[in-house]
């Protein structure tokens, strides 16, 4: 398996499934007469980030992961989304960005150094494979699972197949 095949399809699967989850969440709000901003601002626990920020971070980890692994310019996207439509557009833009990478851009990326921020004024450098497996994917999946958990906790009828995008 190429490094590209290990990276891009995994990001795309969850980005696409998250878009489907948001569609189901929006329909849930309509059916139950819930103001969308209530669900968009929901958290699993008071000290955790709300649904909106979870989706934004999923997008950031996918886009920045691809950029760092290919030594491309790392995109910066302002977190301005406040509606389901805006979050789905951000997901669509991220999907398009991830799809824009070519397999050859990832050639050797598993062994190249990747330097990334790990806090204010701090960076860390790992080999590409280690960056992907120990930082990028764990963060990406954490925020995707948390978004799923927030929706499920709030009564949206979704399950594992929805998270995997195979329902």
pLDDT in tens, 103-142: 999 999 999 999 999 999 999 999 999 999 999 999 999 9
Instruction: Look up tokens 């886009």; give the residue.
Output: 63
- The number of residues in the chain equals 167
Digit-coded pLDDT (tens) for 14-41: 999 999 999 999 999 999 999 999 999 9
pLDDT (average), residues 46-57: 98
Q: Which residues contact 156 (CB under 8 A, 6 or more apart)?
A: 21, 24, 25, 28, 39
Q: Would you say 15 and 98 are in contact if contact means Cβ atoms under 8 Å apart?
A: yes
Region 45-56: mean pLDDT is 98
Per-residue burial over 28-40, b if 16 or more Cβ lie within 10 Å, else e, is: bbeeeebebeebb
Decide if 40 contacts 75 (C-beta within 8 A).
Answer: no
Distance from CA of residue 144 to its chain's centroid?
A: 6
- Within 10 angstroms of residue 55's Cβ, the number of other Cβ atoms is 31
Burial degree of 146 (CB within 10 A; 0-12, 13-18, 19+): buried
pLDDT at residue number 123: 97
Nearest-angstrom CA–CA distance, 27 and 37: 13
Give the CA radius of gyration of the chain.
16
What pLDDT score does 17 carry?
98
The pLDDT confidence band at residue 157, using thresholds 50, 70 and 90, is very high
Predicted local confidence at residue 167, as pLDDT? 76
Question: Phi and psi of 119, rounded to 5°?
Answer: 145, 175
pLDDT value of residue 107: 97
């Amino acid at each position: 398996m190429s490094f590209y095949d290990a990276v891009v399809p995994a990001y795309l699967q969850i980005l696409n499934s998250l878009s489907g989850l948001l569609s189901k969440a929006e329909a849930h709000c309509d059916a139950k007469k819930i103001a969308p901003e209530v669900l968009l601002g929901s958290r699993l626990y008071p000290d955790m980030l709300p649904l909106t920020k979870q989706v934004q971070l999923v997008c950031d980890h996918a886009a920045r992961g691809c950029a760092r692994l290919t030594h491309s310019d790392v995109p910066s996207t302002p977190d301005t989304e406040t509606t389901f439509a805006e979050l789905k557009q951000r997901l669509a833009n991220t999907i398009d960005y991830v799809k824009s990478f070519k397999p050859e851009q990832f050639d050797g990326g598993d062994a190249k150094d990747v330097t990334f921020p790990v806090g204010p004024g701090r960076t860390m450098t790992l080999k590409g494979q280690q960056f992907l497996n120990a930082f990028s994917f764990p963060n990406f999946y954490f925020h995707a699972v948390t978004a799923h958990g927030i929706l499920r906790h709030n009564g949206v009828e979704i399950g594992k197949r929805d998270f995997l995008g195979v329902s």
